[in-house]
Amino acid sequence: MKEKRTELQVAALCNGTAIDHIPSDVVFKVVSLLGLEGLDNPITIGNKLESKKMGTKGIIKIADKFFEENEINRIAVVAPNVVLNIIRNYEVVEKKRVELPQTILGIVKCNNPKCITNNEPMHTRFEVIDYANIELKCHYCGVKIDKEDIVLK
Ligand code: ZN
């Protein structure tokens, strides 16, 4: 029954993308990572929705918007298990899981105050060294950052 209700919530979109299974505490980070504030498309944000697997979850629905793979994979840094429902004509035509890219450019802040990326106007660059636990390593200073310590720029 609950599954059905979720499907209905998602299917309410005519055309566009519904981003599902977002951990409640990062819903607004996802909004900002995807630059949704700057879009003119109608957007629905649901948060603290009941989820059997996660306790609570968030859903973001964006009408008439279909993301590029590299665009959407940015959010894997904060929400690795997110599911994208691609909706056309009120039907989910595709479900995609986000994948953490091997290299993360310009999203995460380096936690080392002496790192060049904190002292020069430049993009940060991290390599993912542990996919399961989300551990990143700064390309420039080598500092390692655990999931809990990830600060977004
Ligand atoms: Zn660094």
- Note the pTM of the prediction, 2 decimals: 0.77
Q: Is 3 domain-assigned? A: no
| 10 assigned to some structural domain | no
pLDDT > 70: percent of the chain: 93
Q: For the chain, give the secondary structure using H, E and C.
A: CHHHHHHHHHHCCCCEEEEEEEEHHHHHHHHHHCCHHHCCCCEEEEEEEEECCCEEEEEEEEECCCCCHHHHHHHHHCCCCCEEEEEECCEEEEEEECCCCCEEECCEECCCCCCHHHCCCCCCEEEEEECCCCEEEECCCCCEECHHHCEEC
Task: Say yes or no: 23 and 68 in one domain.
Answer: yes
Shared domain for 59 and 40, answered yes or no, is yes
Average pLDDT of every residue of the chain: 89
For position 134, what pLDDT does the model report?
A: 87
pLDDT band at residue 11 under the 50/70/90 scheme: low
Q: What is the pLDDT of residues 73-102, one digit of tens each?
A: 888 888 888 999 999 999 999 999 888 889
Q: What distance in angstroms lies between residue 101's CA and the mean position of ligand 1's atoms?
A: 18
Ligand 1 centroid vs 27 CA: distance in angstroms?
A: 26
Q: Do 24 and 81 fall within a single domain?
A: yes
**In a shared domain, residues 48 and 115:** no
- What's residue 131's pLDDT? 87
Same domain, 62 and 110: no
Q: Are residues 108 and 74 in the same domain?
A: no
